[in-house]
Amino acid sequence: MSISRHVRSLSHGEVVHDSALGSVRRLTADEFPLLQRLSIKRLQLQPGALREPHWHANADELGYVIEGELLLTVVDNADGVSSFTAGPGQMFHFESGSLHAIENIGDTPAEVIIAFSHERPEDFSMRAAFAAMSDGVLGNTYDLPAQAFAGRQRDTGEAYLLRRPAPAPVQGGTRFADPHRFDIEAQSPPVDFPYGQARVSRRQFWPALKHLSMYSLRIPDSGMREPHWHPDTAEMGYVHRGRARMTILDPDGATDTYELQAGDVYFIPRAYPHQIEVLGEDIHFLVFFDQPTPGDIGYRLSGSAFDAPVLAATLGMPVEAMPVLPFTANDPLIVARRNPA
């Protein structure tokens, strides 16, 4: 466990399930007390395995496929049913209460990083929901005799992962556009510099989003995520690749500087200033937010909002010693790193 209260390792998170079918690890507020309105899970599925049909009572779900080929089926409010596929670099979104299942239909293991819009998501499985009802009630529901359900399991716990007894019938239509899926890595990056890129899943590009969004952030060692904060927006990042260093300022004036590596998760409360430096190799972060359109205020633009005397007084410098800051009308989000880490 990291010595920083802002960081935990998802690779060493709570084991929810671990079997020959795959594994599920998660970080909620129980393991990561700083979390608010966000939590995270890593789902690994072997070929032929599926995350059983389930729904979340208090959280939307936003997933990013690291590897593998998935089939996702969802039952939404107002009789909406759809099935679609998702592969590496694609995302999916399910609203709170929507019944859904995730299946690995490929020949290799699948891995998915999933964020939730609550620090302690509550799950219901379809298996448990059926087990809670009597044979007679189910018989009436499906216009069948009660004995038709006599052989079912009656455990109201979750199995979590199941093996599909027959191959999934993947239809051609599952590859067409679906409002639950977003191909973020095929997006032309809205932020694109030689020293870093950001692709974004936010409401203006993906209207289905209501409580979550995500940035796919790639920065080489020639770039840096400028110091910034997010008004009314918390940030939870997953390190997919690379090493980085972050500094965060707390309201009491304390600073926390820590290093991150692959598998780590960090959390930044709403409006806390922070930045990201690359350490020696390219990084890829999945940066989740608790708003569909995250706010952002950067240091670069902030330096143009005030004149030199105000800035000098703020920084405790003589006016004549103040560096001439470049005028910035629009924050760049990523800046070039001309100084060593």
Whether the predicted pLDDT of 2 surpasses 90 = no
Q: Mean pLDDT throughout 140-165?
A: 94
How confident is the model over 5-20, as a mean pLDDT? 97
pLDDT given at position 1: 40
Separation of CA 200 from chain center: 12
What is the pLDDT of the chain when averaged over all its residues? 96
Mean pLDDT computed over 216-233: 97
Domains and CATH numbers, the chain: 7-182 (2.60.120.10), 185-336 (2.60.120.10)
Q: What percent of the chain has pLDDT over 90?
A: 93
Question: What span, in angstroms and rounded, lies between the C-alpha atoms of 19 and 52?
Answer: 14
Q: How confident is the model at residue 52 (pLDDT cuts 50, 70, 90)?
A: very high
The three-state (H, E, C) secondary structure of 263-290, written as one string: CEEEEECCCCCEEEEECCCCEEEEEEEC
What pLDDT score was predicted for residue 340? Answer: 85
Residue 283: pLDDT band (50, 70, 90) is very high
Rounded mean pLDDT, 145-167: 93
d(CA 130, CA 138) in angstroms, rounded, equals 8
Quote the pLDDT of residue 171: 77
Virtual torsion, Cα 161, 164, 167, 173, nearest 10 deg: -60
Could you give the count of Cα atoms lying within 13 Å of 218 in the half-sphere of its Cβ? 11
Q: How far is CA 178 from CA 184, 192, 201, 288, 309, in A?
A: 14, 27, 15, 21, 54
| Region 48-67 average pLDDT | 98
